[in-house]
Amino acid sequence: MAEPPADGSDAPPVPRTPSGRDARMPPWLPRAMVLALALIACFQLGSWMFHQLVGLLVNILIAFFLALAVEPAVSWMAALGVRRGLATGLVFLAVLIGAAGFVTLLGSMLAGQIIELVQDFPNTLDALVNWINTTFHTDLSRVQIQDSLLHSDVLQSYVQNSASGVLDVSTQVLGGLFRLLTIMLFSFYFAADGPRLRRALCSVLPPARQSEVLRAWEIAVVKTGGYIYSRGLMALISGCAHYVLLQALDVPYAPVLAVWVGLVSQFIPTIGTYLAGALPMLLAFTVNPWYAVWVLVFVVIYQQFENYLLQPKLTARSVDVHPAVAFGSVIAGTALLGAVGALIAIPAVATLQAFLGAYIRRYDVTDDPRVGGHQGRGAGRVLRWLRRTLAEAGDGRGTGARIPRPRADRGESRDG
């Protein structure tokens, strides 16, 4: 604060120099700086930990949905008197046996095709060489081609790169097995200790929140289990139908292809139908090109039958999700979690939709014709003008056959 001059003159006041007490740092500023730095460090540490544990969190999410899928079967067996841990083990054993059988059948089919391809390779190469010699008037031989291929630099570099990539493939296989074991272990714990887990979760919540959590859990079990079981039933029906067709066409590996079509078309969203139908068409083409056309026609017809007749009846009570919502959820799940998100997107959206439906209040819709998609005001005016014109033409008052009326009559009618 400035002080006035001592002599009372009009000279400008001299500013007062701040004392030591006024020039000190506020006492709250160091603590605020320390708190801000601590918050930034905690945020960075949490972000680093999340990025390091994102793989584990995804595995736990997959395990949770898998546990929800087997929960109805485990609860049913537990109601019959089977211990819950034993019931969970039996269900997972059945799932593993089915998965191993499918992989074995598919592997045997691929191995058989590779063996046939290797055995027929000399004959195929001879036919190709003969066609080239006949068409282009050359003098090639299979031995020369084989020698040039075996001694080529491209093949040698490919073999060296493949040998160096064996270690990477082995690492990926071991990582995939460890991830599968982690998912199965967490799923077993979630399914076997489901009641204990729900009790522990509800113990830290007030009674009002406990009922909401239990309701959400029950809805998730019903929707996820219903989705898996309905898809399994549709996969069985689809596999049997395609097996009859492939067996009638005498396509090789008909049982394996039927299992492939049933599982892939039902459990891979959006593009599963096309992936499932491509392999039977390819093998049918090797037998007869027209057989591939028949397979394509059957796949298209059966897909329509499934979409409009079979699927609405089987999934009306379990997963009632609009096709557009299901497609959007699959795209969103793929963007967030990749293939895992695509698999769990539909049951997750069905669970969220059912849970929100219990709290969203709905009202009766008014009987407005615009709700049903009828014509708007402008189109209604045109229709009314057409009706009036036709009515006048029918009464003899149209433009082409207008009957003049006396002025008095028109006045009387107006007065009436």
Residue (of 274, 349, 289) closest to 319 by Cα position: 349
Same domain, 187 and 253: no
Q: In this structure, is residue 278 part of a structural domain?
A: yes
Q: Exposure pattern of 274-308 as b/e (b: 16+ CB <10 Å)?
A: eebbebbbebbeeeeeebbebbeebbeebbeebee
The SS3 of residue 319 is: coil
Domain boundary among 318, 334, 360: 360
Q: Please report where in the chains the tokens 């058989």 appear, as a residue.
A: 112
Same domain, 198 and 62: yes
Domain boundary among 204, 220, 243: 204
The phi and psi torsions of 403 (rounded to 5 degrees) equal -100, 120
Tell me what pLDDT residue 410 has.
44
Cα torsion 64, 58, 267, 181: sign: negative
Same domain, 110 and 69: yes
Give the tens place of pLDDT for each residue, 229-263: 888 888 889 999 999 999 999 988 888 888 889 88
Same domain, 77 and 181: yes
Q: Which amino acid is at 227?
A: Y
Tell me what pLDDT residue 293 has.
92
- Name the H helices within 203-271: 207-248, 254-267
Tell me what pLDDT residue 400 has.
46
Same domain, 180 and 255: no
Same domain, 128 and 264: no
Q: In this structure, is residue 109 part of a structural domain?
A: yes
Same domain, 231 and 335: yes
Give the tens place of pLDDT for each residue, 62-113: 899 889 888 888 989 999 989 999 999 999 999 899 888 888 887 887 787 7
Domain boundary among 322, 337, 360: 360
What is the pTM (predicted TM-score) of this model? 0.66
Tell me what pLDDT residue 44 has.
94
Q: How far is CA 48 from CA 37, 51, 224, 378, 415, in A?
A: 16, 5, 32, 61, 90
Same domain, 234 and 303: yes
Give the up-direction half-sphere exposure of residue 212: CA atoms within 13 A in the CB hemisphere.
10
**CB of 232 within 8 A of CB of 221?**
no
Same domain, 336 and 354: yes
Q: In this structure, is residue 69 part of a structural domain?
A: yes
Q: In this structure, is residue 393 part of a structural domain?
A: no
Same domain, 195 and 227: no
Tell me what pLDDT residue 403 has.
42
**CB of 192 within 8 A of CB of 85?**
yes
Same domain, 276 and 343: yes
Q: In this structure, is residue 29 part of a structural domain?
A: no
Q: In this structure, is residue 30 part of a structural domain?
A: no
What is the DSSP secondary structure assignment for residue 404, as one 8-state letter?
P
Those residues of the chain that have pLDDT short of 70 are 1-23, 155, 159, 162-166, 269-270, 315-320, 358, 371-383, 393-416
Q: In this structure, is residue 188 part of a structural domain?
A: yes
Tell me what pLDDT residue 87 has.
92
Residue range(s) defining the domain that contains residue 140 = 54-145+174-204
Tell me what pLDDT residue 404 has.
46
Cα torsion 27, 32, 33, 35: sign: positive
As for how many domains the chain has, the answer is 2
Same domain, 227 and 300: yes
What are the structure tokens assigned to 147, written together?
């020698």
In the chain, the N- to C-terminal Cα span, in Å, equals 97
Interaxial angle between packed helices 323-337 and 339-357, expressed in degrees from 0 to 180 and rounded to the nearest 10: 130
Residue (of 246, 375, 223) closest to 302 by Cα position: 246
Q: In this structure, is residue 213 part of a structural domain?
A: yes
Residue (of 226, 252, 257, 228) closest to 240 by Cα position: 257
The phi and psi torsions of 145 (rounded to 5 degrees) equal -65, -45
**CB of 74 within 8 A of CB of 87?**
yes
Query: How far apart (Å, rounded) are the C-alpha atoms in residues 71 and 130?
Result: 63
The total number of residues written for the chain in this structure: 416
The phi and psi torsions of 203 (rounded to 5 degrees) equal -70, -20
